[in-house]
């Protein structure tokens, strides 16, 4: 599917763009950035949100794809980069079969790789079965950093779907992002692994003199009470051992419609957001936009 194949009926700035416009914008993104006080040009950089987890299979990709679908519906140009190197599958959840993937990025520009999903947002499909681009390749982080500049003319926001775990690739991508959403479930192993990731990001970030912006998303919950209890446990250990106030970004109900949307290969939020998991994902999207500074406290768009 090409960038031009917009989903009918969805209104957004993407709808006014044709493929040529988007590609021109991507090519133009080689331009020098803003000039500050006659000094060196500052490269324009798109804000980035990383979706990560300590434990695998907790719902990162479902969350990333649906958050992008919800954000796109608000007319915000969002591009999802599938950075689950080696086992990428965001394209599967989006219902597309890309011909080009991120593993070709060393030779090709993102403009050749980014495709429009049926839900409307842009997707940079990740690599599948490419061992040389799997864990530990530091150039992946440089790729994503480069992407944030290359996409500056064509996107308002980049969402990164990372792989699971606390290896260098995942942590590096989270450090590159402006906000990291750590997804966990109520499963004790998921909570333990989430803390391991939170700890690693926090300590690595501090070693660089930064304070990380990260928070948790509790997925597959049976109630908001359960979600808050999981957040409370993680926040308590973060406070005690890391002196870090861990934010609660949101929770997502366990919902058969989400599992069904995966089987249907179509994001739930491309169509509705009134109940259950869809409502939770829509609310989470608003929280993320507010936290990253694209919505003000009244829910109005900022700076677009
Ligand atoms: N809120 C939910 N309600 C019901 N099912 C869910 C929910 N979230 C995720 N799932 C189910 O969990 C499966 C795994 O989700 P997903 O692929 O997003 O996990 P992941 O964290 O990206 O996995 P990986 O670590 O392998 O990348 C989905 O296919 C879906 O069936
Ligand atoms: Mg995934």
Q: Which of 244, 253, 247, 53 is nearest to 162 (CA)?
A: 53
For residue 219, the ligand 1 atom closest to its alpha carbon is 1
**Closest alpha carbon to 48 in 136, 161, 134:** 161
**Which of 286-297 are b and which e, b meaning 16 or more Cβ less than 10 Å from the residue's Cβ?**
bbbbebbebbee
Per residue in 88-101, pLDDT (tens digit) is 899 999 999 998 88
Which position has the higher pLDDT, 296 or 11?
Answer: 296
State the distance from the centre of ligand 2 to the C-alpha of 201, rounded, in angstroms. Answer: 19
The answer to whether residue 34 sits within a structural domain is: no
Pocket test for ligand 1, best of 54, 56, 57 (most atoms within 8 A of CB): 57
Query: What mean pLDDT value characterizes the chain?
Result: 82
Query: Would the CB of 62 count as within 6 Å of ligand 1?
Result: yes
Within a domain: 300: no
Residue 11 pLDDT level (bands cut at 50, 70, 90): very low
Q: What is the rounded end-to-end Cα distance, in angstroms, of the chain?
A: 27
Range of the domain at 98: 13-29+46-292
Helix, strand, coil distribution of the chain in percent, nearest 5: 45, 20, 40
Is 60 exceeded by the pLDDT of residue 22? Answer: no
177 falls within a domain: yes
Asked whether residue 91 is assigned to any structural domain, the reply reads yes
Tell me how far the alpha carbon of residue 154 lies from the centroid of ligand 2, in angstroms. 25
Average pLDDT over residues 29-38: 40
> Residue 162: CB within 6 Å of ligand 1?
no
- Per residue in 180-221, pLDDT (tens digit) is 999 999 999 999 999 999 999 999 999 999 999 999 999 999
- Please report, rounded to a whole number, the percentage of residues in the chain having pLDDT higher than 70: 79
In the reported structure, the alpha carbon of residue 219 is separated from the centroid of ligand 2 by a whole-number distance in angstroms of 13
Q: Is residue 38 part of a domain?
A: no
CATH code assigned at 170: 3.40.50.300
Contact in structure between 268 and 66 (CB atoms under 8 Å): yes
Q: pLDDT: is 20 or 66 the higher one? A: 66
* Ligand 1 atom nearest to 256, measured from its CA: 4
Rounded to 5 degrees, what are φ and ψ at 52?
-135, 170
Instruction: Provide the pLDDT confidence category of residue 141 given band limits of 50, 70 and 90.
Output: confident
Q: Is residue 39 part of a domain?
A: no
- Ligand 1 atom closest to Cα of residue 183: 21
CA gap 179, 60 in Å, rounded: 15
CA-CA distance, 28 to 76, in Å (whole number)? 20
- Counted domains in the chain: 1
CA distances to 24, 84, 158, 267 from 92, rounded to whole Å, are: 27, 13, 19, 10
CA distances from 303 to 79, 155, 265, 300 (A): 18, 13, 33, 10
Q: pLDDT band for 68, please (50, 70, 90 cuts).
A: very high
Distances (CA, A) of 197 to 55, 172, 230: 9, 11, 15
252 close to ligand 1 (CB < 6 Angstrom)? yes
Residue 214: CB within 6 Å of ligand 1?
no
Contact 63, 262 (CB under 8 A): no
Residue-wise pLDDT tens digits, 207-260:
999 999 999 999 999 999 999 999 999 999 999 999 999 999 999 999 999 999
Q: Is the CB of 259 under 6 A from ligand 1?
A: yes
> Is 299 among the domain residues?
no
| Residue 59, ligand 1, Cβ within 6 A | yes
pLDDT at 32: 34
Q: Using CA of residue 4, residue 9, residue 12, residue 13, what is the dihedral sign?
A: positive
Residue 253 counted as domain residue: yes
Which ligand is located closest to the Cα atom of residue 268?
Answer: 1
Any atom of ligand 1 within 6 Å of the Cβ of 258 = yes
């Amino acid at each position: 599917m090409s960038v031009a194949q917009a989903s009918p009926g969805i209104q957004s700035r993407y709808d006014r763009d044709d493929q040529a416009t988007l590609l021109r914008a991507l090519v133009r993104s080689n331009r020098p950035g803003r000039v500050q006080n006659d000094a060196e040009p500052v490269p324009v950089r798109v804000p980035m949100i990383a979706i990560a987890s300590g434990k695998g299979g907790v719902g990162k990709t479902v969350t990333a794809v649906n958050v992008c679908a919800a954000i796109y519906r608000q007319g915000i140009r969002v591009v999802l980069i599938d950075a689950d190197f080696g086992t990428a599958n965001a394209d599967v959840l989006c219902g597309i079969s890309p011909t080009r993937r991120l593993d070709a990025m060393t030779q090709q520009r993102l403009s050749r790789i980014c495709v429009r999903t049926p839900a409307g947002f842009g997707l940079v499909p990740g690599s599948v079965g490419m061992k040389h681009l799997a864990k530990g390749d530091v150039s992946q982080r440089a790729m994503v950093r480069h992407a944030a500049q290359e996409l500056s003319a064509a996107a308002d926001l980049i969402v990164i779907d990372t792989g699971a775990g606390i290896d260098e690739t995942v942590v590096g991508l989270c450090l590159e992002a402006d906000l990291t959403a750590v997804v966990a479930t109520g499963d004790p192993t998921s909570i333990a692994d989430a803390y391991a990731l939170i700890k690693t990001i926090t300590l690595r970030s501090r070693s660089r003199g930064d304070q990380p912006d990260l928070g948790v998303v509790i997925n597959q919950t049976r109630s908001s009470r359960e979600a808050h209890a999981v957040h409370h446990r993680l926040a308590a250990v973060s406070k005690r051992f890391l002196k870090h106030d861990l934010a609660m970004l949101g929770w997502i109900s366990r919902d058969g419609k989400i599992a069904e949307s995966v089987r249907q290969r179509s994001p739930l939020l491309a169509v509705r957001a009134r109940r259950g998991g869809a409502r939770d994902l829509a609310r989470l999207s608003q929280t993320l936009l507010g936290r990253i500074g694209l919505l003000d406290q009244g829910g109005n768009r900022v700076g677009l």
